[in-house]
Amino acid sequence: MHIPDGILSAPILASFGAASSLGVIYSARKAEATTLAHRIPLLGVLGAFVFAAQMVNFPVGPGASGHLLGGALLAATIGPWAASITMTAILIIQALMFQDGGVLALAANVFNMAILGVWLAWLPFRALSKINQPRLGLFLGALLSVLLSAVLALAQVSLSSRVMTQGLWVFCLGLFIVTGAIEGFITLAAWEAIERLEGRASGQTRKPMHLAILAASIAIMLIGVFFASGAPDVLEYFQTQAGISSSATPFPALMPDYEWANLNVEWLRKSSAGALGLLAAFAISFLISKFVPRGQQD
C-alpha cells in the first residue's frame, strides 16, 4: 500500500524515517558486500522487471485479475539485502516519476515494503526451504509480506488521521488478505515458470498447494478472531426474539460457543476452536478426495 504525502503525521514520519534510513544504509552495506560485481546490473534490471511485471494481468477469478507486486520473488531470487535495496529503488522511482506514494512518505513506505515486507517474505521461504518446502515458504512469505506491510501502513494512516473505524479495519483487513493470497499465487506461478524455463522443474505434485491454502485459511482465521464481533449473529438474534435460545441441545457440544474452555488465554480459547474445525474440515476433504473417484474432466 503506497501512502501518499499529506496523510502521515510528523511523529510517524520522523520515527519511521529514522528506522528506514538506518535500515536502508545497513541493507546497502550488506547488499554491496554480498553482491558479486557481475550482479550489480541484475538488481537494477530486476527492479525494471517489477515495473514491467505490473503490466502482466494475471487472471484470478471471473472478470478479475491481479498483478505481481514482486517483493517476495525478489527476496527469494536475490536474497533479502539486495531485495531490500531493489525495492527501495522501486519505491523511490515510483514516488518521483509516477507519484505512486509520496516523497516524504517514503519514510514509511520504504520501511513497510522494502524492509519489513522483504524480510517477512524471506524468512518463511528460508525456513521452509530447509525442510524442502520452498513453494509453501514462497506462498506464505508473499502472503505475510503483503498482509502485514499493508496492516502497518493502515495503522500509520489510522494513527495520523484518526478517521478509521473498526468496521473499516475489518473491511481493509479482508482486502489485504485477499491481495496477499493473490500475490502468493502469482509469485508461486512465476517461480514455477522460472524453474521450468531454467530446467529446474522438479515435477512436484500439487500437494504443497493444499498446505498453502490451509496455511492461508489458518492465517485468516487467527487474525479475524481479533476483530470478531461480540454482537449476536442473525440466527441468534431471531432465536432470542422467538424465545427459543435457551432450549436444550440433544447432544453435548464438543466446544460450546466455539471456545475451547480449558485454555486460559482468551484469544487462544476463541481461535483454537476455529483452528481445530478447519483442520477437521481439511482432513475430511482430503480423505474424500483420496477415496471418492473424480468425474471425467473436460
Partner 1 sequence: MKLDPRCALLLLLSYLIALASIQPGANRLLLTLCALPVVLLFLSPVPRAELLAQAAYVLPFSFAIAAVALLRGNTAQAVFFLLRSYISILAVLITTKLATTLELLRAMERLGAPRFLIVVCEFVIRYIEVLRKEADSMRLAALCRGAAQSKLIAASSLGMLFVRSLERSTGIHNAMLARGFNGSLPRAYPMQWRLADTVALAIGIAGIATLRWAA
Judged by CB under 8 A, the chain residues 29 through 88 that form the site for partner 1 are 29, 31-32, 37-49, 51-53, 55-59, 68, 73, 77, 85-86, 88
- Figure out which of the listed residues 19, 104, 222, 276 binds partner 1, where binding follows CB under 8 A: 104
Residue 43 CA to residue 68 CA, distance in Å, equals 17
Question: Min. distance of Cβ 34 from partner 1 in angstroms?
Answer: 11
Phi, psi of 269 (to 5 degrees): -60, -45
Measured CA to CA, the distance from residue 69 to residue 83 in angstroms comes to 13
Q: Which of residues 246-275 bind partner 1 (CB under 8 A)?
A: none
Total residues at interface with partner 1 (CB under 8 A): 72
Q: How far apart are the first and last CA of the chain?
A: 40
Nearer to partner 1, 162 or 294 (CB): 162
Q: Cα-atom radius of gyration of the chain, to the nearest Å?
A: 22
Q: 60 or 218, CB closer to partner 1?
A: 60
Determine the Cα–Cα distance for residues 292 and 294; give it in Å rounded to an integer.
Answer: 7
Residue 36 CA to its chain's centroid (Å): 31
Strands 58-61 and 64-66 come out as antiparallel
Cβ nearer to partner 1, comparing 119 with 191: 191
Stretch that binds partner 1, among 97-105, 125-133, 141-149, 275-283 (CB under 8 A): 97-105
89 near partner 1, rule: CB under 8 A: yes
Q: Which residue has the cell 524468512?
A: 123
Q: Which residues of 244-283 are buried (b: 16+ CB within 10 A; e: fewer)?
A: eeeeeeeeeeeeeebbbeeeeeeeebbbbbbbeeeeeebe
Q: Name which position in 72, 76, 83, 92 contacts partner 1 (CB under 8 A).
A: 92
> What residues between 168 and 227 interact with partner 1 by CB under 8 A?
168, 186, 189-190, 192-194, 196-198
Select the residue interacting with partner 1 from 22, 96, 127, 261 (CB under 8 A): 96
Residue 47 CB, nearest approach to partner 1 (Å): 4
| Contact window for partner 1 (CB under 8 A) among 26-34, 117-125, 141-149, 206-214 | 26-34
Cell of 262: 480449558
Least distance from partner 1 to the Cβ atom of residue 57, Å: 7
The correct pick among 15, 19, 100, 268 for binding partner 1 (CB under 8 A) is 100
Nearer to partner 1, 45 or 287 (CB): 45
Answer yes or no whether residue 159 interacts with partner 1 by CB under 8 A.
no
Q: Which is nearer to partner 1, 197 or 253 (CB)?
A: 197
Q: Please identify, using beta-carbon distances, which residue of 103 and 283 lies nearer to partner 1.
A: 103
Q: Assess contact for 75 and 122: CB atoms under 8 A.
A: yes
The residue among 155 and 194 lying less far from partner 1, judged by its C-beta, is 194
Contact residues for 179 (Cβ-Cβ < 8 A; gap 6+): 66, 146, 147, 150
Smallest gap from residue 138 Cβ to partner 1 (A): 13
Q: Which amino acid is at 213?
A: I
66: which residues sit within 8 A by CB, 6+ positions away? 57, 58, 60, 179, 182, 183, 186
Q: Compute the distance between CA of residue 105 and CA of residue 241 in angstroms, rounded to an integer.
A: 51
For residue 201, what are the CA distances in angstroms to 73, 77, 135, 191? 17, 15, 12, 10
Indicate the residue among 165 and 264 with the shorter CB distance to partner 1: 165
